[in-house]
Amino acid sequence: MNKYTGIIDTHAHYDDTSYNEDRVSLLSSMPENGIEAVVNVGATVKGAYQSIELAKKYEHFFAAVGVHPDEVHILTEEEIEIFAASTAYEKVVAIGEIGLDYHNMGSDKETQHKWFKRQLKLSIAVKLPVIIHSRDAEKDTEDIIREYSDRLYGCLMHCYSYSAESALALKKLGCKFGIGGVITFKNGKKLKEAVDALELEDIMLETDAPYLSPEPYRGKRNSSLYIPYIAEAIADIKKVTPQEVIDITNANAKKFFPRLTDWEV
């Protein structure tokens, strides 16, 4: 059992096939291991629907619906309308993950921009925060967020990977920052500098499970059970205890995702 309590994992993908063999036992074990809540985040249309099903099955699970930039070339307006309707379910807490990815380029830039903006508009219409994926697309992401920032109901930069300077610029636009396993990596200097520049009130914990496992599990399948390693790395930077990191980020998550509080997590 984890020695910490009140952990909220704000970004995971337990719909991934890598959990097919032990999904039930793993997810059921989380509350007894200090995991208070998990936001399972849609990356594909199918993943969004599966996230809702997980939220219906597990009391401590919540869902975000949206499509990753690599997958938006097959997104349709009909599916946007289905997502909109799905937000009537009180355990759908955000629109995400949405954004830009110029590294993989699974969809061309024009298509990515179109559907990023469309999903931002969806979030505004349904009055939910957004979870943003951005890779090798720093300027365009910031420019688009700036265009919509005064209307958004919250903006969480998932798996933040840019500089401290960029973090402070995004903070001025109202963004919060998801910090995961990379903070434990020896080559994670840039992220450590960003965390040092930010306040704990700007940060939330995440795994991106099954990806980006923290040390000492780097390269293996990730799990919310490994979040203590992330909290400990942040605590070392901020000169507080790991439980303080967990407590503050717990409060941050409940403020950012009001439906977590509504559900009395």
- Tokens linked to 216: 């000492």
Structural domain of 33: 7-262
Residue 100 is assigned to a structural domain of this protein: yes
pLDDT at 262: 79
- Tokens linked to 56: 């219906």
Residue 222 is assigned to a structural domain of this protein: yes
pLDDT at 265: 58
In whole angstroms, what is the distance from residue 242 CA to residue 104 CA?
34
Total tally of structural domains belonging to the chain:
1
DSSP letter string over 183-218?
Answer: GGSTT-HHHHHHHHHS-GGGEEE---BTS-PPTTST
Mean pLDDT for the stretch of residues 87-112:
97
Residue 1 is assigned to a structural domain of this protein: no
pTM passes above 0.85:
yes
Residue 2 is assigned to a structural domain of this protein: no
> What CATH code is carried by the domain that includes residue 212?
3.20.20.140
In whole angstroms, what is the distance from residue 125 CA to residue 197 CA?
33
pLDDT at 263: 74
- Average confidence score pLDDT of the chain: 97
Residue 197 is assigned to a structural domain of this protein: yes
- Tokens linked to 120: 């931002």
pLDDT in tens, 157-188: 999 999 999 999 999 999 999 999 999 999 99
Helix axes 109-126, 138-148, angle to 10 degrees: 30
Mean pLDDT for the stretch of residues 121-130:
98
pLDDT in tens, 129-165: 999 999 999 999 999 999 999 999 999 999 999 999 9
pLDDT in tens, 19-70: 999 999 999 999 999 999 999 999 999 999 999 999 999 999 999 999 999 9
**Which pLDDT band holds residue 264 (cuts at 50, 70, 90)?**
low
In whole angstroms, what is the distance from residue 188 CA to residue 217 CA?
15
Residue 28 is assigned to a structural domain of this protein: yes
Residue 17 is assigned to a structural domain of this protein: yes
